[in-house]
A and B are shown apart, each in its own frame.
Chain A
Amino acid sequence: KNQVEQSPQSLIILEGKNCTLQCNYTVSPFSNLRWYKQDTGRGPVSLTIMTFSENTKSNGRYTATLDADTKQSSLHITASQLSDSASYICVVSASSYKLIFGSGTRLLVRP
């Protein structure tokens, strides 16, 4: 069964600190892996997309890594800001049109 598991479910950090979110998947075939940010009450917004051949990609203070052999990905947030408080969703694509979404990690950044 195609699944995307994320950990932790929730995380609280202090402003300015770094954090890393984890994603494990069992999706076949594998096309690409995406990270989305979803603010409360809003739609998800794309952060990164990585294909099989890419093992790291950055978007500002967000850096995603992919290990296609172990089927693991991580999202590292550097120097967190209050505006980083959101849910972060790992998504694995089996094809151009069918995405498997994780249930997300809820991050709270406190002053």
Chain B
Amino acid sequence: NAGVTQTPKFQVLKTGQSMTLQCAQDMNHNSMYWYRQDPGMGLRLIYYSASEGTTDKGEVPNGYNVSRLNKREFSLRLESAAPSQTSVYFCASSLNRDRPAPQYFGPGTRLLVL
């Protein structure tokens, strides 16, 4: 099993450009998440999808959109990139049932917006 995969690994954008970050998991997890990690700060939740067909805003959703394409895939789109969106983006998944479940993280996408 590959676990959680993310593409691309690195990306440089100019202000105003758009892009989509891709995420896929092969663990049959029902929930998926997008986080951003900035220096000196904890990971912050951008959007999550509790199950296929649903998405909800997290702590910092402004400037982002998401699509839960199917159970395996959850994409994050930046419509008009801004320098403040320079960050490392992590996708995660978990199998949420009756008990707390660990989240499994992908390797991250490093995004620089000039």
| A residues lining the B interface (CB < 8 Å) | 4, 31-32, 34, 41-46, 49, 51, 89, 91, 93, 96-104
- State in angstroms the CA–CA spacing of A97 and B101 once bound together: 10
The size bracket of the interface on B is 20 to 34
How many Cβ-Cβ contacts under 8 Å join chain A to chain B? 57
- B61 in the interface (beta carbon within 8 A): no
Main secondary structure of the interface of B (DSSP, over half): loop
Partner of B107 from the list A32, A34, A42, A96 (CB cut-off 8 Å) is A42
Cα–Cα, bound, A97→B92 (Å): 11
The secondary-structure label for the interface of chain A is strand
Residues of chain B whose beta carbon lies under 8 Å from any beta carbon of chain A: 4, 31, 33, 40-45, 48, 50, 56, 58-59, 90, 92, 96, 100-108
A99-B45, A100-B42, A104-B42 known; A43+B100 contact, CB < 8 A: no
Contacts of B50 in A (CB 8 A): 96-97
Contacts of A31 in B (CB 8 A): 100
- Our pick among A41, A49, A98 for the contact of B58 (Cβ within 8 Å) is A98
Residue in B43, B90, B96 whose CB lies within 8 Å of A96? B96
A42 with B100, Cβ < 8 A, contacts A97-B56, A104-B42 known: no
Contact B108 A42 (CB under 8 A): yes
The answer to whether A51 and B100 touch across the interface, beta carbons within 8 angstroms, is yes
- Supposing A32-B100, A49-B100 touch, asked if A98 and B45 sit within 8 A by C-beta, the answer is yes
Do A97 and B42 touch (CB < 8 A)? no
- Minimum CB–CB distance from A103 to chain B (whole Å) comes to 5
Instruction: Determine the residue in chain A with the shortest Cβ distance to B105.
Output: A43
Contacts of B100 in A (CB 8 A): 31-32, 34, 49, 51, 93, 96
From residue A34, how far is it (CB to closest CB) to chain B in Å?
Answer: 7
